[in-house]
Amino acid sequence: MERLQKVIANAGYCSRRKAEEEIIKGHVMVNGEVVRKMGVLVSPTDEIIVNGTLIKKEEKEYVLLNKPRGVVTTTSDDKNRKTVLDFIDTDKRLYPVGRLDYDTTGALLLTNDGELANLLMHPRNQIDKVYIAKVKGILTGEAIYRLKNGVMIDGKKTAKAKVKLRRVDKKNQTSMVELVIHEGRNHQVKRMFEALGYDVLKLKRERIAFLDVDHLKSGEYRYLNPKEVKKLYYEVLKQD
């Protein structure tokens, strides 16, 4: 059983707030009866009509994409750049879970399951996001310590992170660094390194929770199976 306004919103008819307004106005019918109050629970078999339109509950879909470089993490773009949806053949209204920068590659989840998306994005649920960054310069022990314990960005310290120096190229003066974070602040990884004086040359997200893109070429995607979806819900709900 789910709240009526949530079912209407998840079906893509309108936002949850707009659905609540439609209910209050008496524009919503459940099984032939007008509903005007909040908190009504409906089952998958209930017939819901809003302003004469039958609400069809959209089947949930979960996609893992290996996002290429030069692609925007949005559903549309006013500059006619490629979006992540251009790589996925579906008739569902999918949305990215969080975002990756235009030139950042790697693991990106897309779904029409708003509840799971919100749970995955909330920092309190501490979902691992594993990044591999190629930075200009040789990472020092002090820099690693500061990355682990938080860096000031816009006057706010980032949460503790896990850091591993994977490789150093002394000839080209670059470092390959693995960084595991739980937050999703704007351009966070790049800004963490920049705050310490290191420019990020390349950035890839290798993994979200237990999901990696090891077997997906750039631009390829796959659907999550029911077991993986259940495990994702377990990962976020066990924090409560």
Active site residues: 101
Cα separation of 230 and 240, whole Å? 16
Sequence-ordered strand ranges (E) for 87-128: 95-96, 105-111
Q: At a CB cut-off of 8 Å and minimum separation 6, what does 171 contact?
A: none
Contacts of 149 (CB under 8 A, 6+ apart): 160
* 8, 19 Cβ separation under 8 angstroms: yes
Q: What share of the chain is helix, strand, coil (3-state, %, to 5)?
A: 25, 30, 45
Both structure tokens of 67: 């996002």
Task: Please choose, from the candidates 113, 110, 86, the residue with its C-alpha nearest in 3D space to the C-alpha of residue 99.
Answer: 110
Alpha helix (H) residue ranges in 105-225: 114-121, 141-149, 188-195
